[in-house]
Structure 1
Amino acid sequence: MIRDPREDAGLLALVQRYVTPERRYLKLGGGLLHPRGPEGDHARFLRDLREDADVVTADEIGTLLEGGWRERRTATWLVAVSRRTAFRERIGELLLASEVCCVGLAYCMTLAGFGTARDADLLAAYLERYLRRPDLAHDQSVAMGALLVVDEKLPGDRAAAFLEPGGLWPRWLRDAPHMRLDTDPAGYANLVRALCALVDDCARTR
């Protein structure tokens, strides 16, 4: 069951501390790669994110991950910046469940940043389930991009079985009414790779 901060004082306090200041939850995503406004505002935003990644506790992250998409997106970025691989399985569970919208990119980026064989397993499990569901417009594209990024770090090629002719990826593209047949997964890999680099820069200056 998803916790609602309007009905949960403990969660509300964490939302006010980590999620809503400067509308952080809206800014965490691909828009960070193309910041608008004064350069100092972008630098301050990343600095504040680094500082909160340092001080947030594991229990607080766990509580935020029980909230809605705003809480989960913010918590996942805090996990990524602080490199808390202890949350790997929980992130994988949330990705697979796909209970809320607007968080899949954060989940996939975080697993790609961790970049181990287990992260590849979690991404592949998601793709095995949701590439069989062309009726669902979830996070299949970014998950494929993330798996390609993890493949760059490991021996073997986990993505190949999905991408081969007749595999789940081309079949999903063919049957999903919201997708174009010429969609290139490399574009999604570039997005995930760029976000991972931004997180790495953030983490190195902690």
Structure 2
Amino acid sequence: MSQLLYDLLSGNADHAAAFRDRFDSVQHSQTPDAVTVCCSDSRVLQDHMWGNDEPGHLFTCSNIGNRVIQRTASGEAVSGDVLYPIEHTMTETAVVVGHTGCGAVTATYDDLTDGLDEPAGIEHCLSVLKPHLAPGVELLPDDIERAAAINRLVEYNVDRQVEFLSNSDDVPDEVDVFGVVYDFQDAYDGRRGEIHVINVDGETDVDTLRTAHPEIESRINRLWAY
């Protein structure tokens, strides 16, 4: 047997022992408090970043680029992964979670500026992101360093995903939509692993957000006011 698989199963045994009684109330249904849309990245600890260890609390989705957008035969729509808890489990909070140094944003930036040759599956994902990030690439200063450009586009991407969710007729008005960035690269003024709020229901102005939400003032930050 693969040693890695053995180690994973050993870790799962510890998990099962610790969580044995935590599934009692959610065995037959779920009413998660929030749906989070994270990037599929091994450095993004999707539930652990929130300190969550309760089954049923968060409905966690992930894909490269933390996309809420899905292409359908009739055009772009909110991804079914994201829409399911909103439509069927009474979830009224959605959180789009970008992260510093995002590989999907980097690849989209490179594809828009130089062109890339990626396998079809990856190219499909990038093709969903490209039309939404292209205006942001045009707004970047000419002299900006690459890492700084990527992290600004991470914010821009989160804003576009929040905008798409907020504007969708499939998402009820009472659903709160937040945009945040998970920072493990010291890009923001904070500790590694902290989450920074950059968008609340489409509002992106830092001063306005801090005035409206003084209880989290120190966690409201942006790198880019474009």
Question: What is the TM-score of this pair, normalised by structure 1?
Answer: 0.28
| Structure whose residues are more often helix by fraction | 1
**Looking at CA atoms only, which structure, 1 or 2, has the larger radius of gyration?**
2
| Structure whose residues are more often strand by fraction | 2
